[in-house]
Amino acid sequence: MAKKSEQSSRIEKPRLVRLIRKSNDLVEGKYRFDIWEMRVFTKTLTMIHKDDEDFRPYRIYLKEIISDFGLEQNKQSYKFLKEGAEKLARREIRAVASTPDGEMELLTHIAAGVKSFTNNNAGKYIEISFHPEMKPHLLQLQTQFLMYDIKNILRLQSSFSIRIYELLKQYERIGKRKFTIEELKDILDVADKYPLYANFKQRVIIKAQEDLSEFTDIRFTFEEEKKGKAVYAIIFFIERNADFTEELPSNIIVDSMIQLPVVPKESQEALEIFSLLKEFKGVNIQTVKDWLIQFSPEHVRQRITLLKNQIALGGKIRNPMGYLQKMMIQSNLFDLVEETKQEKQQVVEQQKQTHHLLKRLAAELEQLQVGHYETQKRMVEKILNEDEILRTEIHNSVKNSRFYDPGQTIAENMKKGMVQGMVFSKVKQARQTLFEEMDREFEVLEKSLKSQLRVLGWDG
Q: What burial class does residue 7 get, using C-beta atoms within 10 Å of its C-beta: 0-12 exposed, 13-18 middle, 19+ buried? A: exposed
> Is there a contact between 47 and 139 (Cβ–Cβ < 8 Å)?
no
Regarding whether 322 and 272 lie in a shared domain, the answer is: yes
Give the residue numbers spanning the domain of 102.
11-254
Domain boundary among 195, 222, 254: 254
Q: State the average pLDDT over residues 362-381.
A: 84
Residue 110 lies in a domain: yes
pLDDT on residue 5? 44
Please report the pLDDT score of residue 208 as a whole number. Answer: 95
What is the reported pLDDT for 203?
Answer: 93
Its pTM surpasses 0.75: no
The pLDDT mean for the chain works out to 80
Instruction: Tell whether 166 and 70 lie within a shared domain.
Output: yes
From residue 51, alpha-carbon distances to 110, 125, 144, 309, 323 in Å are 20, 25, 16, 36, 30
Under 8 Å between Cβ of 294 and 147 = yes
Cβ count within 10 A of residue 148: 19
Say what the pLDDT of residue 253 is: 41
What is the pLDDT, as a whole number, of residue 255?
43
Task: Verify that 300 and 431 share a domain, yes or no.
Answer: no
Number of domains making up the chain: 3
Query: Is 260 within the bounds of a domain?
Result: no
Residue 236 sits in the same domain as residue 275: no
Given a cut of 90, whether residue 212 has pLDDT beyond it is yes
* 69 assigned to some structural domain: yes
pLDDT digits (tens, 9 = 90+) for 133-159: 999 899 888 777 888 888 899 999 999
Residues 277, 374 share a domain: no
Q: Which of 210-214, 259-263, 318-322 has the lowest mean pLDDT?
A: 259-263
Instruction: Tell me, yes or no, whether 192 lies in a domain.
Output: yes
Residues 244 and 292 in one domain: no
Determine, yes or no, domain membership for 199. yes
Q: CATH number for the domain including 86? A: 1.10.10.10
More confident call, 247 vs 388? 388
431 shares a domain with 407: yes
Cα–Cα nearest to 423, from 449, 453, 397: 397
| Integer Cα distance of 97 and 109 in angstroms | 16
Do both 37 and 183 map to the same domain?
yes
In a domain, 343, yes or no: no
Comparing 258 with 84, the larger pLDDT belongs to 84
| Residue 221: per-residue pLDDT | 94
124 and 194 part of one domain: yes
Q: Are 92 and 107 in contact (CB under 8 A)?
A: yes
pLDDT band (50, 70, 90) for residue 101 = confident
The pLDDT score that the predictor gives to residue 161 is 95
Together in a domain, 81 and 186: yes
**Within a domain: 295:** yes
> What does the pLDDT average to over 278-301?
79
Provide the pLDDT for residue 3.
Answer: 46
Q: Answer yes or no: is 261 within a domain.
A: no
**CA within 13 Å, CB half, 175:** 7
- Residues 438, 361 share a domain: yes
How would residue 338 be classed by pLDDT, with cut points 50, 70 and 90?
A: low
- Tell me which of 331, 361, 386 is where a domain ends: 331
For 151, which DSSP code? Answer: G
Angle value at C-alpha 343, between 340 and 346, nearest 5 degrees: 155
247 and 293 together in one domain: no
Return all residues near 446 (Cβ < 8 A) that are at least 6 apart. Answer: 365, 368, 369
Domain finish residue from 254, 276, 293: 254
